[in-house]
Amino acid sequence: ALISLRQLLDHAAEHGYGMPAYNANNMEQVHAVMQAADEVDAPVIIQASAGARKYAGEPFLRHLIIAAVEQYPHIPIVLHQDHGAEPAVCFRSIQSGFTSVMMDGSLMPDMKTPSTYDYNVDVTAKVSEMAHALGVSVEGELGCLGSLETGMAGEEDGSGAEGVLDHSQLLTDPDEAADFVKKTAVDALAIAIGTSHGAYKFTRPPTGDILAIQRIKEIHARIPNTHLVMHGSSSVPQDWLEIINSHGGDMGQTYGVPVEEIQEGIKHGVRKVNIDTDLRMASTGAIRKFLAEHPKEFDPRKFLKASTAAMKDICKARYEAFGCAGMA
């Protein structure tokens, strides 16, 4: 059944686990997320970005989730809209049946320019008022995702600011977070701690100076009843990077957020962990490998099956690592 993000994250807080929130835009990704959840008895958060809505189209996306609910009636599913650029985007998603929306007011509607604090409060409070009246949950974001190494926002795909960010924007301020939550009534708050979207997060395995897990603890101490969200939380698996590059791919050396660091965050109030890149890499690696090893194959179901299995393995591993296995 579809449930709201608030319902699920309240349960997660009560039982001390974190939820991976997987981005999806096609059937294979939804299959992978659901098969993994079914095998380990985990609840599900599937989220759709603006890019996903553009790729699949709103009706197809909606019906993929309806299909998941129908096939897995015993698994609670949150359908979350990722990074809404303005209130109208969130209102359309609510109308379409999403049970949770993110108003990303950290950026202006162009999704490239950091916003002012007052603007962020204004648009997020507006979405909360409407969403809550309809039983839909709201995630806000305070601080801008970006690298503490370079000051860059990460991939330029419309999901993050472009160019160099001010250092003060790269780490969420705990006092400001408390004020923000009070003024906006968000159910969950995405915080900036040095992660960024996409595969190129860190040039070396991250240490405390470039991945500020300590900041999570400071924010959680200030707003213990707010569910914290980590964006840009793919771990960028080195084994998949290697498989991609040894089968015709050309990705640069790069590092993601180690699972152990996410587990540390979960001990300190992180309840939703956004993951997209890891599934993309597993899918691409599995397809490259399958086609290289089976050059005569031309039935797409064969390589898509390999892709689904690879994504499912990652999903299962995260469900287990974040403590949500057995929680459905």
Residues taking part in catalysis: 82
User: Is residue 276 close enough to count as binding Na ion by CB under 5 A?
Assistant: no
* Sites for ligand G3H among residues 167-226 (CB under 6 A): 197
Q: Which residues neighbour 218 within 8 Å (Cβ) at sequence distance 6 or greater?
A: 174
**Alpha-carbon torsion angle 218, 3, 44, 320, nearest 10:** 60
User: Is residue 82 close enough to count as binding Na ion by CB under 5 A?
Assistant: yes
Minimum distance of ligand G3H from residue 316's CB (angstroms): 20
Total Cβ atoms within 10 A of residue 91: 17
User: Is residue 80 close enough to count as binding ligand G3H by CB under 6 A?
Assistant: no
Considering only the stretches 29-37, 71-79, 81-89, 252-260, report the one whose residues sit in contact with Na ion under the rule CB under 5 A: 81-89
3-state secondary structure at position 268: coil
31 is in an annotated binding site: no
Closest CA to 9 of 132, 138, 134, 120: 138
For residue 255, report the phi and psi dihedrals to the nearest 5 degrees.
-130, 150
Considering only the stretches 84-92, 123-131, 199-207, 268-276, report the one whose residues sit in contact with Zn ion under the rule CB under 5 A: 268-276
Q: Which residues bind ligand 13P (CB under 6 A)?
A: 23, 82-83, 197-198, 231-234, 274-277
User: Is residue 102 close enough to count as binding Na ion by CB under 5 A?
Assistant: yes
150 is in an annotated binding site: no
* Sites for ligand G3H among residues 265-284 (CB under 6 A): 276
234 is in an annotated binding site: yes
- E-assigned strand segments in the chain: 19-23, 44-48, 77-84, 100-103, 137-142, 188-191, 227-230, 270-275
Total chain residues near Na ion (CB under 5 A): 2
- Do residues 315 and 32 lie in contact, with contact meaning Cβ atoms separated by under 8 Å? yes
Q: Which residues neighbour 232 within 8 Å (Cβ) at sequence distance 6 or greater?
A: 145, 154, 195, 196, 197, 198, 201, 257, 274
274 is in an annotated binding site: yes
Tokens of 284: 């691409």
User: Is residue 141 close enough to count as binding ligand G3H by CB under 6 A?
Assistant: no
* Sites for ligand G3H among residues 14-53 (CB under 6 A): 23, 49-52
Considering only the stretches 4-12, 57-65, 74-82, 253-261, report the one whose residues sit in contact with Na ion under the rule CB under 5 A: 74-82
Considering only the stretches 16-24, 207-215, 260-268, 274-282, report the one whose residues sit in contact with Zn ion under the rule CB under 5 A: 274-282
Q: How far apart are CA 1 and CA 284, in angstroms?
A: 31
Residue 49 contact, options Zn ion, ligand G3H, Na ion, none, Cβ 5-8 Å cut-off depending on partner type: ligand G3H
User: Is residue 231 close enough to count as binding Zn ion by CB under 5 A?
Assistant: yes
Tokens of 103: 């108003």
Question: What DSSP line would sit under 64-125, residue for residue?
Answer: HHHHHHHH-TTS-EEEEEEEESSHHHHHHHHHHT-SEEEE-TTB-TTSSSBPPHHHHHHHHH
Binding site for ligand G3H (CB under 6 A): 23, 49-52, 82-83, 157-159, 197, 276
Binding site for Na ion (CB under 5 A): 82, 102
Binding site for Zn ion (CB under 5 A): 231, 274
